[in-house]
Chain A
Amino acid sequence: MPDKAFFSFMAPSLLAMILFIALPIGSVFLQSLFVEHSQVMKTVETCSPFGGCTDETIVDAEATQALAQAQPLGRFNGLGTYTDRNHLAFDDLGRARREADTFGEFLSAIMNLRFYRALVFTIAFTAIVTPFVLALGLVIALAVNMLPRMTKGPAIFVSLLPMIVTPLVGSLILAWIVDAEGILGATLQTLFKDPDLSLKASPTLTWIMLFIYGIWHATPFSFIVFYAGLQTVPRDTLEAAMIDGASRAQRIRYVVVPHLMPLVTFVLLIQLMDNFRVFEPIVGFSADANATSLSWIIYNDLRGGETTLFGSAAATSFLTLVGVIILLIPVLIRTWRDHNSKPA
């Protein structure tokens, strides 16, 4: 394709990507390097309906506004926000290393820092949910493939529901069911004869519940991709394998799975990205007492509290971006190699 045509076809996408992806990321990174100006404070008399009039400290609005207008971006903080206690916490890590007597103590000191706590959960979520989703999706695709033709359609439709419904709605629906007073929660209490059993009360059970939600939500995606792939398995190769005496399991292992490998890479890529930005289940299950994720602490900085911490949220966003890139490097290298080895 001639260069001019190539660029004119690519131009809209390139422009959109620069405007909506590259520039915002650059702006967020810039924001993460600044903190707010020092608030100029003064003591004045404040009168309220209760407690009469007292002397209180308030912010001197004019002086602070003057500072803000002189330097709109704020105070330059360099990489200070990245290394403060809310993020990589180098100071606290160093102190923990010096003061901890055992490795267990060091570990609990790390988990006390919110960024590492969120990082551990996010990585655990990604590492556990992704392989399960791949395996379950394949198994269900194989099973649905064996159904009589009439029932395939409805089966596929119902299977897709967990993925189609908005993640927040899906997690709320499951939260109501597993709640200690909900149908599943109460049944579990009866089953285990423990009236205090609550999936939302203990951190371990909360994590397991969130992992199960993640698998429930993402399996339809891998199911539908593998199911589509199964329709294109070359029948001749299958028959040849059967003539050679291969059993069912061997046929699946040596013919079907290798044929689906490119799809596996595709689903793996998408799942790694999706699971790394887990957020909705933590809100839906009100699980932030026991499990927080990187996306969740960004949301908490911006919307969760009384104050908005833009710089802190920007720094966490950028660190999340770096994390996703690191996670995807192996998959991207593999895809690049496959692409290069194909004939032009």
Chain B
Amino acid sequence: MSDELPEALPKEPTGSISRRDFLKKTGWIAAGVLAPAGALELIFGLKGASSAQAAEAATTAQTVPHWQFLVDANKCVGCGFCVKACKLENDVPYEADASRTWVERHVVTKDGVSHVDSPNSARDGFTTPDIDIGEGKTLQINPEDIAKAFFVPKLCNQCNHPPCVQVCPVGATYKGPDGVVLVDRTWCIGCGYCINACPYGARFFHPVYHTAEKCTFCEHRISKGLLPACVQACPFAARRIGNQNDPTDGVAEVIATQRVEVLKAEYGTNPQCFYIGLDSEVR
């Protein structure tokens, strides 16, 4: 029988099938059956995966916070405790004329002119009613001429679209999963591009490390469940921090449900530091 096989093969008796053809056809059938099934599986599978991913993302969202800051400018009295606490907590030399956070004093006189200052970033508060106009000079304002006056605390806005991160040539500054923008002091080359790119003047060169320096919402504290130094030091709760991903967070609720403002929205940075009681002339 085996001797006859080579002769029989080309003739191919009707109804019979060669092994090669059998395998070929089986393959096609299997593919034909599996393809739609596979497609269905692919679609449903993907659907399944996407819903699983969404669920996972939702759980991560609940576990990984997204920090937001709320400043109630109405409550600020310009004591400067926040600045002092920040400098001590974050190793920024006390005498250095720069700070991760600062408080501004705005005095608008009746003629519509606005006078603003922040002597030593208001590290010691505002000890004199005279306005610091730079170059060692001060300006006396007659209290009767004042139309309105208020204080505005400022800090890094931890923008959702941070221009500082965009321009860093080496990726030494980055936005963490919790929304806080950080600087890697071991990698920063000190070009200063981020400092010039920040529309809020939140960055400066650290006088000791010579790398870009900025407010981190006290990342080392908030990641351990503590409050940022400035928030803890504020006697009037003008500064508060919240977690957008926590449905029970009171601060996040205020930001979501009340009328709040951000600084310089026109730059498209999407700041995560929100203000209550901001005046239109604050920039």
Q: Do chains A and B stick together as partners?
A: no
Chain B residues engaging chain A, CB cutoff 8 angstroms: none
Chain A residues engaging chain B, CB cutoff 8 angstroms: none
